[in-house]
Amino acid sequence: MMRVLFICMASCLLVVNGGNTINRCALAKILHEEDLDGFEGYSLPDWLCLAFVESNFNISKVNENVDGSFDYGIFQINSHYWCNDYQSHSENFCHTDCQELLNPNLLSSIHCAKKIVSGSGGMKNWVEWRLHCSGRPLSYWMTGCHLE
Ligand SMILES: *[C@@H]1O[C@H](CO)[C@@H](O)[C@H](O)[C@H]1NC(C)=O
């Protein structure tokens, strides 16, 4: 019994340390469950392409910008406008701690992304999406993914 428990603990720790990227289809499933499919006119492939070009599906990605702000999580949400990192001035439009945007359950990131995409410009607020995803055929992002 203790042995089984130990093996579980060891592998669970492994998941926490090395598991900061999420599988494409697992992400598609969560996005679908959180009603992002068609949200503000953007399809699941749009969201998958966005996550890929922003973070390479890395849930815990943090990136510092030249202006001193930081981008957080799978959608690389910016601390200057959307979340509070307690390091620099933030509008904090999503009313959340930036650290919450790194939560593996993705709920805060999804909630905040909904707010961003609902504003003017929609997904064009993400420069990388505009450059690499917008207006391109994207349906292949769902290849092999079964949502049920
Ligand atoms: C994910 O992002 C974190 C923080 O930026 C970084 O330390 C980690 O190496 C990244 N993981 C991968 C697989 O790139």
In the structure encoding, which two tokens stand for residue 39, read together? 């949200």
The pLDDT tens digits for 5-49 are 444 444 444 444 455 999 999 999 999 999 999 999 999 999 999
- For ligand 1, atom 9: residue with the closest CA: 61
Amino acid making up residue 101: L
Q: Which residue segments constitute the domains of the chain, with CATH numbers given?
A: 20-142 (1.10.530.10)
The pLDDT tens digits for 54-77 are 999 999 999 999 999 999 999 999
Whether 57 lines ligand 1, by a CB cut-off of 6 Å, is no
> Following DSSP, what letter does each residue of 121-140 receive, concatenated?
TGGGGSHHHHHHTTTS--GG
CB atoms inside a 10 Å sphere around CB 40? 13
Whether 138 lines ligand 1, by a CB cut-off of 6 Å, is no
Residue 134 CA, chain-centre distance (Å), reads 18
Contact 122, 133 (CB under 8 A): no
Whether 61 lines ligand 1, by a CB cut-off of 6 Å, is yes
Q: What is the pLDDT of residue 6?
A: 43
CB atoms inside a 10 Å sphere around CB 57? 17
Instruction: Find residue 64's DSSP bridge partners.
Output: 70
Q: What is the pLDDT of residue 4?
A: 46
Contact 50, 110 (CB under 8 A): no
The pLDDT tens digits for 74-105 are 999 999 999 999 987 899 999 999 999 999 99
Q: What is the pLDDT of residue 88?
A: 79
Which of 15, 54, 60 best tests ligand 1's pocket when mutated (most atoms within 8 Å of CB)?
60
Whole-structure pTM over 0.85, yes or no? Answer: yes
